[in-house]
Structure 1
């Protein structure tokens, strides 16, 4: 027996309304179910409208998550602004000047992607973004003026700095109609859109290769390539290319999701 589309939508609304009353330990699962589409992710015909702001809690998040998509934005001639909230001072390796090294790695990585504008560094404290939420929201507000799209870590990302950046976006006064693209770093998300990045994926791999300090600890080139290969299984690619997945919403809807958290 088929279920009418209207009934499915009504059920999903009831799920969202009931999330707030759920125990903390299953709230994230409920959010994932509420945001997932019934027919799988939509394959976008191209990158969303620019100009765009990328909120990266640390140097390298802007490449691990939406790096190849940024390369496609650059090809379209969109203005790409990258806000790196910290300078990665808590990263192991890099010597006494690790923050300077990490900032220079970020500059080189964006050039690999074809992004003309150098990153802007908030220089907040690596590992302490939850305690600097107000300053973080001000930075996003300042650099997000007049953008059409904001990339930010997925709300399901468990890293405290990533979660703080995701929540800070909801506390800004940016317009409700801004498109939010939640990207994947430390957690696979219930993505509802995909972008084919096969043609430009080598640029992402080269950009990740600039992060020599971080690569001493984690092979981000391999892990990001594996996730993008997996994401390509949806749609016409049939697993033969690379795709990046995002949780896409309006900022108004995004705020409603953030408000479900304590």
Structure 2
């Protein structure tokens, strides 16, 4: 049976960095994948909004995602908004998508937008009686997780999505669409690092390639 999958991220490109290969796998499995981006993705960094939006559209096309939406909260300014307003916007999408699985940011990341997105998603999808329950998995973002204090980090991921070479290839191609966000190795947002990470995470679960997550909520 096809599943409804929702990915909620703070910035356009987080969906690729955090779970791009997993998105590809869901698409290949004929699941219904939707993506919600909370911010305009460029305002705080002085980048051209139109360029970033076109990069986002190109990435969606490469991934094969047809259902996506971007909100206009300001990049790196999510802490300036009331959490309840962000939660309400996510709940609107929740009612529309009725997801079986939600992927979002972990609270590990140093980036404050990522932390707030995690809190907003967990609030929007709190398992109230008489509501459809869904499983929630969280991912770290390269160039954000590496700089967090060790006192705030969870020890290890505890959920793995095994992926194929085609999934990793699509993730790499989608990330290459974000030309303004790519950096040369050894920067965490380099193509080489994404390939290394997929192999490393694969070895952690006895497979060639994988993407790792934290179980925020798993209900059977």
TM-score, length basis structure 1:
0.69
| Distance change in 2, residues 1:144/1:54 (3 Å) | same
Give the equivalent residue in structure 2 for 1:156.
108
Residue 226 in 1 paired to residue 196 in 2?
yes
Residue 128 in 1 paired to residue 128 in 2?
no
Residue 78 in 1 paired to residue 31 in 2?
yes
Residue correspondence of structure 1 range 1-12 to structure 2 within 5 A: none
Give the equivalent residue in structure 1 for 2:160.
194
Q: Which has the larger radius of gyration?
A: 1
| Distance change in 2, residues 1:161/1:64 (3 Å) | same
| Distance change in 2, residues 1:91/1:206 (3 Å) | farther
- After the TM superposition, list the runs of 4 or more consecutive aligned residues in structure 1 that deviate by more than 3 angstroms: 90-94, 173-176, 216-220
Query: What CA distance in whole angstroms lies between the structure 1 residues aligned with 2:210 and 2:157?
Result: 12
| 2:183/2:190 contact within 8 Å kept | no
Residue 54 in 1 paired to residue 7 in 2?
yes
Residue 104 in 1 paired to residue 54 in 2?
yes
Compute the RMSD of aligned alpha carbons: 2.3
* Matched pairs, number: 198
Matched residue of 1:136: which SS? helix
- Give 5+ residue unaligned stretches, structure 1: 1-48, 253-262
| 1:152/1:181 contact within 8 Å kept | yes
TM-score, length basis structure 2:
0.81
Give the equivalent residue in structure 2 for 1:171.
123
Q: Please give the per-residue CA displacement for 1:1-35, whole angstroms capped at 9, x wherever unaligned.
A: xxxxxxxxxxxxxxxxxxxxxxxxxxxxxxxxxxx
